[in-house]
Amino acid sequence: MSEFNKTPRLVLLPAVDVAGGKAVRLTKGEAGTETSYGDPVDAAVEWADQGAEWIHLVDLDAAFGRGSNTSVLKKTIRQVRGVNVELSGGIRDDESLEHALEIGAKRINLGTAALENPEWAASVIAQYGEAIAVGLDVRGTTLAARGWTKDGGDLWQVMDRLEEAGAARYVVTDVTKDGTLQGPNLELLRQVMERTHRPVVASGGISSLDDIVALRELVPLGLEGTIVGKALYAGAFTLVEALDVASQ
């Protein structure tokens, strides 16, 4: 068996982003660029049926501070029992975090709160451990907060603080790539992995199975998984095909 085959597989997390009760995809995370793909429950069930072990579920309205899709999220999680759900969007205090776990999320992806309220973020990282991932949404080396509408500080300074707090996992998104089908930012991922021993999940820009092959090659450096969104919805490849490539 070759060394490559001994490498752990790349975990794929198909994304279900919810706005106004619908499954949507944005371009570069910008409000108003939504393309609608119908019922989020149907989307999640389809990914589960195709073999997803994880689903990355996002409440975009909560992330943008313009409402929430709690009932849709709850129904979606209920319909894909047996599949792990990573939930993101608008989780900024004890109440919203506890509610997200109560409705069945296996892991919470903290974004803005980790940047704007570091003391709280450190306390929930200590309390919940593996159930907390920290989303690092980046333009260049500047973090983006509040649904990517505000600057959230320097990536490396924030990472140093999160490392000290014991963050269990990072979800790294190049905002300029997200929803563009232009390929992931491999260099950014390498730089982040050089600064942590924690697992990293990539997000943004995947356009082809070749991109998944390129990410698969980063697994020995600490890349655990990747979120896949628009490419799946646009039919660039199927989740079954992507899972096959990710496990080779």
- Among candidate residues 59, 137, 178, 211, the one labeled active-site is 137
| Catalytic residue status for 17 | yes
- Among candidate residues 17, 59, 174, 178, the one labeled active-site is 17
The single-letter DSSP state of residue 10 is: P
| Catalytic residue status for 174 | no
List, by residue number, the catalytic residues. 17, 137
